[in-house]
Amino acid sequence: MRHSRLALTSLLVSLTLLLVVTACAAKTDDSAKLSANAWRVASLGGTAVAPAAPLPAEFSAGKISGSTGVNRFSGSYTTQPGNLISIQLGPMTLAAGSPQAMVLQTAYVKALTDAKVYTVDDSKLTLSDAAGKALATFDVYTPLALVGTDWTCIAYNNGRGGLQSTLATSTITAKFGEDGTLTGNGGVNTYNTTFKASRSNITIDAAIATTRMAGAADVMTQEAAYLAALPRATTFTIEGNELWLRDASGAAQAQYTGK
């Protein structure tokens, strides 16, 4: 009888502890930590993602935004006590990438939309499915700053409604200064103008001064289109090491990589 009572007491203690742990877990709410940092994918489905292909995500006030490395995405998310999460992505941009990049995009999007639980601390975020299987892990990252970064243009709006990759025979650069100046090389000529930026909004003065050197016809055509695209920009986003300038409709005007 004594052994039975001890066993029953032990069982009751165990059940009580389990209920306490369960209750504490149910009340866990790390949503503030989730939105405290910008994140970059470290692994998908247990496979490491190379840092050279940043896949960022940012959670803020129920809104999620980021990049798949090929396309930009946005959407909404909700969290509940117990660190439950539900992510709904909206329409993405429709750029095409290499086969490997598109496979990575598919895996990233699936990880986000399948996520049911998150765990987060000051340096790592994990999204898991309902069974607790890790779908994606993220590290904290700090995007490059608009001002002071050396930007190299890799694509520009050609004035016919789409982005066009820059010519391999030329280099287009941009540097946004703390004094509000924008300077760079258009591929042949150096240029300078002024800009104003606040949060994600930007205005670039259309009065762009350039040197007057001549170059190959295709490079000069590219330079003219690039310089014409700059004043059309009204917003900017920085995703990993990439800067995007977009007009009021959301159409990309220029894409840069920075260092």
The predicted pLDDT at position 259 comes to 87
Structure tokens at 61: 């006030």
d(CA 236, CA 219): 25
Type of residue numbered 120: V
d(CA 66, CA 86): 16
Strand spans (E) along the chain: 38-44, 47-48, 56-60, 63-67, 72-80, 84-89, 117-120, 124-128, 134-140, 151-157, 163-165, 172-176, 181-185, 190-198, 201-204, 209-210, 235-239, 242-246, 252-258
Render pLDDT for 70-101 as a digit per residue (tens, 0 to 9).
888 999 999 999 999 999 999 888 877 788 88
Share of the chain above pLDDT 70, in %: 88
The predicted pLDDT at position 10 comes to 52
Residue 51 pairs in a beta bridge with: none
State yes or no: pLDDT of 15 exceeds 60.
Answer: no
Average pLDDT value for residue range 171-186: 98
pLDDT band at 1 (very low <50, low <70, confident <90, very high): very low
The predicted pLDDT at position 9 comes to 52
Render pLDDT for 57-74 as a digit per residue (tens, 0 to 9).
999 999 999 889 888 899
Type of residue numbered 169: T
Q: Which CATH architecture has domain 31-140?
A: Beta Barrel (2.40)
The predicted pLDDT at position 50 comes to 78
CATH number of 151-258: 2.40.128.270
Average pLDDT value for residue range 45-62: 85
Residue 141 pairs in a beta bridge with: none
CA distances from 158 to 80, 96, 163, 230 (A): 46, 17, 6, 11
Share of the chain above pLDDT 90, in %: 69
d(CA 214, CA 200): 35
The predicted pLDDT at position 26 comes to 53
Question: What is the pTM assigned to this prediction?
Answer: 0.64
**For the chain, which residues make up each domain, given as ranges?**
31-140, 151-258
Render pLDDT for 130-171 as a digit per residue (tens, 0 to 9).
999 999 999 998 878 999 999 999 999 999 878 899 999 999
Average pLDDT value for residue range 16-26: 42
d(CA 249, CA 36): 29
Give phi and psi for 38, each to the nearest 5.
Answer: -90, 150
d(CA 25, CA 192): 57
Structure tokens at 174: 């941009």
d(CA 252, CA 202): 13
Q: Is there a common fold for 31-140 and 151-258?
A: yes
Largest CA distance in the chain: 102
Beta carbons within 10 angstroms of residue 58's beta carbon:
16
The predicted pLDDT at position 24 comes to 41
The predicted pLDDT at position 141 comes to 83
Give phi and psi for 159, each to the nearest 5.
Answer: 85, 0
